[in-house]
Chain A
Amino acid sequence: MTMTLPSPAKSVAKRDGDAARDRSTWLIDRAPFLIACGMLAVLVAIYGTLREGVFTFEELNLDTAAAMTLLLAATGQTIVLLRGGIDLSIGGMISLGTVLAATQFGGSPLQVAFAALMIALLGFAIGVCNGLLISVLRLQPFLVTLATWSILSGTALMILPTDGGQLPDFWMAFGNASLLGVSSSVGLLVLLILFWVWFRGTRLGIEIRATGSNQRSAELSGVSILRINLLTYGLSGLFAALAALYLTTQTGTGSPTIGKDYILPSVAAAVIGGISLFGGRGGMIGTIVGAFILTIIGNLVFVLSVSSYWQPVVSGVILLIAVLASSLAEKSARRSLS
């Protein structure tokens, strides 16, 4: 070809136009999350008009405490979902964690702190086992964690056949303490957000997202899938253990069957917040919004004062409307910009 082409470097100028398009697609890509935020705002607004004193720290403290166990469980679940997996075993881990806390916590605060640390580490170790089984046996995470869920629940039931055991008062006081009207739960929420902001930016955080987005590509770039599995499920186990510890500050007891209550809601919170079950997309902030939506719906149904049989219907319908709205808005946003 004899023709001289314009200098390719010129196309660098094109990047400015790119950037504008970039911003609009950025918005579309985050539509599920953004609209989840919008829905939460709408729900809170409705709630606020129906009940007095909603816009107070007291309300924030209460709602955060109500959502926190789910939030911690959902944090781990979010990490696993981002990797394109799922962790049902958090149900067993939460049960086991509360049971261990109820039976092993005793003595001085220092001893309790040590025991709590051990429970957290145990959660991590159990998660690592999940990751190992998934990698080594090359089985679906659904099946592996279904099995370990059962094993962990069984272990919890062997230690405590029914709810029981008493947590030390200072432990529970610690969980419900407040400073200047802000409870430790809200503090924990802030920590959780900080953790996520940090974690998302780390190399591991990127590797997890990459593996969930396209495992083969990640592998080609040198990511060790085994390591990612060990760490994601490990973190999920760790957060399940933390959820268990937090839960004991609210219930003051060990509960060998309580964990199952958090399995589906943890996935639901993440999905409402914009996480795809196919991995790679979304983040923890969305999950937090999702968990709060689920909690606020409960409050809303209470203040709406509907008769008992209608309560599940109303909560289901609110959930559906919330998600439907975001799905529709996302669809139309995508269409108008494509």
Chain B
Amino acid sequence: GHAEAEAKKYKIYLSNNFVGNDWRQQMERVANVSVSKGPLEGRVDLKIENVENTVQAQINSLNNIIRSKPDAILIDAGSDTALNPTIKKACDAGIVVISFDQVVTEPCAYALESDWKRIPAVMAEWMAQQLGGKGKVFVDRGLAGAPISAALEKGYLDVLKKYPGIEVVGSYNGEYALGPEQAGVASLLAAHPQVDGILTQGYGSGAIKALQDAGRTIVPVVGFTYNSSALACAKTEGAKCILGSNPAYLSSEAIKLAVDILDTGKKPAERHVLVNGDFLATAPFKSELYPDAVTQVIEIGKNAFPDAPPGLTLPITPDWVTITAAEASGS
């Protein structure tokens, strides 16, 4: 029964393949916060295992986790396929496995992620609208070899292809870090006297900074919902932006999903569970491709916080628990 399930405390491991960026930090912190209050308070014994960004280390770590027989394993994976045999072992041992953020293809594991089709499509659509269907753009290819990077790039290009007037004149690898984004855009600016828009996979604020440094006019920029990006878009004169969201609270959602499955024994209908965050933009925007996509207008104090750290990912909290900006940034 329900009451019995309420009493049970689950042992859940979160295996994270990489700690070296702000998003992952926030993701881990949010995970910890969401089991310490709200509906999950006292329900979960959460242990986070970080590995040094190698698939081998994550396999070894997962093997260790499996041997300690937890109820569920949440995985932010270093590869979408290479962990499959190990994950299969976990499933076979009766452990609930949920991959999130960078998900895996192993059918026995759930895949909880942002909608990597919708996000690039809506943002490319926005860009096309800004350009009036005509112009030259740069596209960020993210990180070589990363599945999400490939999905985002493809998403951008698929939509842009529908506008014959739009030409992709250059690509660079932003690697989800400010330095490479800024340097990549700067190199392309040198090669191309004219550019009308930039579709990044990272901050977007790096692209804006590169434009400023090169003394160019600020063109429409696509990026993601980091606090610094929102602030840069709001504060920079003439900036036009749309920011897609890959919420750091994916981890909280994964925990919740795991607890639900463990409590009820009922499995979700779909292996894929999509989490949709709102877009942020400098002006109202209505997508025709995805009419249900919500776009908030960037407003300082409401969804851009000058006092919060620039690396904070927005939105901060899922709706079933309240996580404050301070909790999310750990300050």
Contact = CB atoms under 8 A, between A and B. Distances in A.
A and B in contact, CB less than 8 Å: yes
B87 to A, nearest CB: 11
Given A66-B60, A258-B82, A163 B147 contact: yes
Nearest to B150: A162
A62 B86 CA distance: 12
A163 B150 contact: no
Contacts of A298: 57, 60-61, 64
Contacts of A70: 56
B85 A252 contact: yes
A303 B145 CA distance: 32
Contact of B61 (A165, A247, A302, A305): A302
Contacts of A309: 19, 50
B326 interface: no
Interface residues on B, range: 20 to 34
A308 B32 CA distance: 11
Contact of A302 (B49, B52, B79): B49
B79 A62 contact: no
B79 A253 contact: yes
Nearest to B57: A298
B17 to A, nearest CB: 11
B50 A312 contact: yes
Nearest to A160: B145
Contact of B79 (A251, A295, A307, A311): A251
A34 interface: no
The main secondary structure of chain A at its interface with chain B is helix
B79 A255 contact: yes
Contacts of B19: 308-309, 312
A250 interface: yes
A69 B79 CA distance: 17
A157 B143 CA distance: 12
A162 B56 contact: no
Interface in B43-84: 47-50, 52-57, 59-61, 63-65, 67, 79-84
Interface string A232-268: 0000000000000001001111011110011000000
B151 to A, nearest CB: 9
Given A161-B150, A251-B59, A257-B145, A312 B82 contact: no
Nearest to A299: B64
Interface in B131-177: 144-147, 149-150
A303 B63 CA distance: 12
B28 interface: yes
Interface in B1-39: 16, 19, 28
Contact of B144 (A165, A257, A303): A257
A163 B81 contact: yes
Interface of A: 62, 66, 69-70, 157, 161-165, 172, 176, 247, 250-253, 255-258, 261-262, 295, 298-299, 302-303, 305, 307-309, 311-312
22 contacts: A62-B63, A66-B56, A161-B150, A162-B147, A163-B79, A163-B82, A163-B147, A164-B80, A247-B56, A251-B81, A251-B84, A253-B82, A258-B56, A258-B82, A299-B64, A302-B65, A303-B64, A307-B48, A308-B16, A308-B49, A312-B19, A312-B50
